[in-house]
Structure 1
Amino acid sequence: MTFNDVLDDIKVYEAGKPIELVVREYGIDEKDIVKLASNENPYGSSPRAVEAVKRDAYKMFMYPDDSMYELKSGLQKKFGVKRENIIIGAGSDQVLEFACRAKLKNGSKVLMTKITFAMYEIYAKQMGAGIIKSSTYRHDFDELLKLYKKENPDIIFVCTPNNPTGDAVDRAILFDFLQEIDEDTLVIVDGAYMEYAAFKDESKNIEPKELIEKFPNALYLGTFSKAYGLGGMRVGYGVAGEEIIKALYKMRPPFNITILSLIAAIESLKDKSFVDESVRKNFEQMQRYIDYALKRKIEYIPSYTNFITFIFDEERNSKKISQKLLEKGVIVRDLTGYSLNAIRITIGTPEQNDRLFYALDEVL
């Protein structure tokens, strides 16, 4: 059977290994496994969201409110934008897919940093677009501007904080860069980890309202999968000018998130204290990783997220380290596929982090 030729050059996205796989392959009891690979909130979900889902579980036979009025109203209040500026997706990557399908065609080009979220490249290639990458994982806007002027891409991706590295850009520097971009070029600012960056450093915080008012060609992406602890519910959103949102809606299927996902997101948005406390605990525990790296003389990337990236020297192999940790029931993300001799570790609870440090000591 033949398929679209563009598929020949697309690698399948490799998700973090699930606990179930480790149970099956290594015979480790589920309660003895620590998963620190997928950047989930280790403190779970808002109790308000959990109770709401339990209360309304009987509604699972029903389609959700396809206007998503209440969730949009909550986001409208949070960000100070209009409901017409918001689109909801099954994770923010679905909104990303809408944008690529709406803007790209065979022969288009997209611009991104060397190491960033893999789905940018995958969605772009699905549309037959060419990929232009900078020479570094950091957002070097001088280099990106030169590449932009040379290649004239249809979409520019800015992931801040960046996944899988954890670094973030200054708002002022990003805005200076955007001033140089033509209004027909769509700039996607992926803020999946923005709650963490905003807590750590206000200069890294990008407010969707300010972004889209200053730059009509910008699309901001946010998610409930990280700080809000709803990774399993798959709810994300895009914020942009009405022209962009109207175009994205033409890509959107009906009822694209479940009724229980919608309920969970609505309640999670109301529980600011849960998010604030989760983020605070995250950076409290992250300091332990920084101290560990310094003690062990391991290079690390300063992180504005709920994960940290350890980069190893030539004497240590990240793939082997990840495998040895896996055999001990500790799941981390090997970054060999990103051409980095590194591992990405989600910042867990104090107990999970104890397990990681003990296992990593043994492996190293």
Structure 2
Amino acid sequence: MKFNSALESIKTYEAGKPIELVVREYGIDKDSIVKLASNENPFGCSPKVKEAIHAIVDNMSLYPDDSMVKLKTALSSKYAIQNNELIIGAGSDQVIEFAIHAKAHAGSKVLMNSVTFAMYEIYAKQVGAKIIRTASREHKMDEFYALYCEHKPSIVFLCTPNNPTGDGLLAEEMLSFIEKVDSDTLVVVDGAYMEYARFKNPSFAVEPRDLVEKFDNVLFLGTFSKAYGLGGMRVGYGIAQAPIIEALYKVRPPFNITTLSLEAASVALEDEAFVQECIADNFKEMARYEDFARSKGIDVIESYTNFVTLLLPEEKNSSKIAQELLKKGMIVRDLSSYGLNAIRVTVGTTVQNNRFFELTNPLV
């Protein structure tokens, strides 16, 4: 059977290994496995969310509210925007898909960082777009602008803080770049980890309201999968001026968010204290990873997220180390597929992090 020829150049996205798969492959007891590979909140979601979910389970026979008015109103209040400046997706990656299908096409170009979220390229290649990448691992705006001037891409992706490396982009530098971009180029600012950057250093924080007020060609992405602890619910969102949102709605399927997911995200926004406590603990525990790396002579990328990227020396192989850890029930992310001899580790609870240091110490 023949398929779309564009699929030939697409590599399947590799998600972090689920705990159940490790149990099957290695015969390890489920309770002894520690997953630090997918950047989930190790404390889960707010207890208020769990209570709210239990209260609406009798409504599962009905389709969800496709207007999503409760969640949109909560997000509009949080960011001081209008409901028509919002679109909700099954994870922010679905909003990325909307943006690609609404703006890119065969023959157009999409500009992104050298090392960044894999789904930008995957969705772009699905429509036949050409991928343009910078040379540097970090987001360097001079490189972006030079490539922008040369290629005039339809879409530019700026991931800050960046996945999978964790480094951030100063908001001032990013805004300066956007101001020089033609209004017909869509600039997507992926802020999946923005809650962490805002906590660590306000200079790296991008406020969606500022983008909407200043630019008619910028789409900001946010998610409930990270700081809010709702990865399993798959809720993300896009914020932009109304004409962009109207265009994205034309490629959005109906009822793309479940009733449970909508309720969970809405209630999660009501417990900001829980989120801030989780973020504070994240950076307290992250300092232990930085100390561990220094004690081993390992370079660590300064992170504005809930994970750390350990750049290993040449004599250490990231794939082998990740595999050895997996055999012991510790799931981390090998970044060799991104061209880095590195492992990415989600910052877990104190107990989980203790286990990581114990298992990793003899390997590095």
- TM-score, normalization: structure 2? 0.99
1:144 is aligned to 144
Aligned mates of 1:218, 1:228 — CA distance in 2: 24
Q: Which amino acid aligns with 1:113?
A: N
1:176 is aligned to 176
Aligned mates of 1:157, 1:137 — CA distance in 2: 14
Q: Is 1:62 aligned to residue 67 of structure 2? A: no
What are the superposed Cα offsets for residues 79-107 of structure 1, whole Å, 9 maximum, x if unpaired? 00000000000000001100000001100
Q: Is 1:153 aligned to residue 153 of structure 2? A: yes
What are the superposed Cα offsets for residues 302-357 of structure 1, whole Å, 9 maximum, x if unpaired? 00000000011110000000000000100000001000000000000000000000
Q: Is 1:309 aligned to residue 283 of structure 2? A: no
What are the superposed Cα offsets for residues 251-281 of structure 1, whole Å, 9 maximum, x if unpaired? 0011001000011001001110111001000
Q: Which amino acid aligns with 1:147?
A: L
Aligned mates of 1:79, 1:325 — CA distance in 2: 41
Task: Give how far 1:213 is off.
Answer: 1.2
> What are the residue-to-residue correspondences of 1:191-230 with 2, within 5 Å?
191-230=191-230
Task: Give how far 1:212 is off.
Answer: 1.7
Q: Which amino acid aligns with 2:276?
A: D
2:15 is aligned to 15
Q: Which amino acid aligns with 1:249?
A: Y
Task: Give how far 1:62 is off.
Answer: 1.5
Aligned mates of 1:295, 1:60 — CA distance in 2: 52
Q: Is 1:187 aligned to residue 183 of structure 2? A: no
Q: Is 1:324 aligned to residue 324 of structure 2? A: yes
Q: Which amino acid aligns with 2:151?
A: E
Task: Give how far 1:362 is off.
Answer: 2.7
2:275 is aligned to 275
What are the superposed Cα offsets for residues 178-236 of structure 1, whole Å, 9 maximum, x if unpaired? 11100000000000000000000000010101012111100000000000000000000
Aligned residue for 2:88, secondary structure, equals strand
Q: Is 1:32 aligned to residue 25 of structure 2? A: no
Aligned residue for 2:220, secondary structure, equals strand
Q: Over aligned residues, Cα RMSD in angstroms?
A: 0.6
1:334 is aligned to 334
Task: Give how far 1:363 is off.
Answer: 2.3
2:85 is aligned to 85
Aligned residue for 1:115, secondary structure, equals coil
Aligned mates of 1:300, 1:281 — CA distance in 2: 19
Task: Count matched residues.
Answer: 364
Q: Which amino acid aligns with 1:64?
A: P
Task: Give how far 1:55 is off.
Answer: 1.5
Q: Which amino acid aligns with 1:91?
A: G
Aligned mates of 1:212, 1:127 — CA distance in 2: 27
Q: Which amino acid aligns with 2:11?
A: K
2:239 is aligned to 239
Q: Which amino acid aligns with 1:48?
A: K
What are the superposed Cα offsets for residues 29-73 of structure 1, whole Å, 9 maximum, x if unpaired? 011000000000000111011111112112222211100001000
Aligned mates of 1:359, 1:131 — CA distance in 2: 39
Aligned mates of 2:114, 2:221 — CA distance in 1: 20
Q: Which amino acid aligns with 1:193?
A: Y
Q: Name the stretch that deviates more: 48-57 or 329-338.
A: 48-57
Aligned residue for 2:137, secondary structure, equals coil
Task: Give % identity.
Answer: 59
Q: Which amino acid aligns with 1:43?
A: F
1:73 is aligned to 73
Q: Which amino acid aligns with 1:101?
A: H
Aligned mates of 1:104, 1:44 — CA distance in 2: 36
- TM-score, normalization: structure 1? 0.99
Aligned residue for 1:222, secondary structure, equals strand
Q: Which runs of 4+ in 1 moved over 6 A?
A: none
Task: Give how far 1:137 is off.
Answer: 1.7
- Unpaired runs of 5+ residues, structure 2, are none
